[in-house]
Amino acid sequence: MEKLTSRKFWICVAAFLGSIATSIAGICTDNQTVIIIGTVCGILSAAIYAFCEAWVDTKATDKPLEYLKEINDTEGE
């Protein structure tokens, strides 16, 4: 449910839908270049979203580990 309130998620959905619309426009006009651009942008929007989510999650998990390391260092003194 938390994902449905994420702005990053909705931007990704909008980019993906825009890419699908571009691909459909390319199919309707029989323009191979537009079809390829729409397909590539659809794949990239999903890949960028996945990368950003992974990066944010990694940064979020790094902070508690740094905090615990600081606590252990101060206890050893």
Mean pLDDT of the chain: 78
Tokens of 68: 């615990």
How many structural domains does the chain have? Answer: 1
pTM of the predicted protein model:
0.59
What is the arithmetic mean of pLDDT over 4-17?
80
% of the chain with per-residue pLDDT over 90: 3
Range of the structural domain that residue 29 is part of = 2-75
Report the C-alpha gap between 30 and 1 in whole angstroms: 40
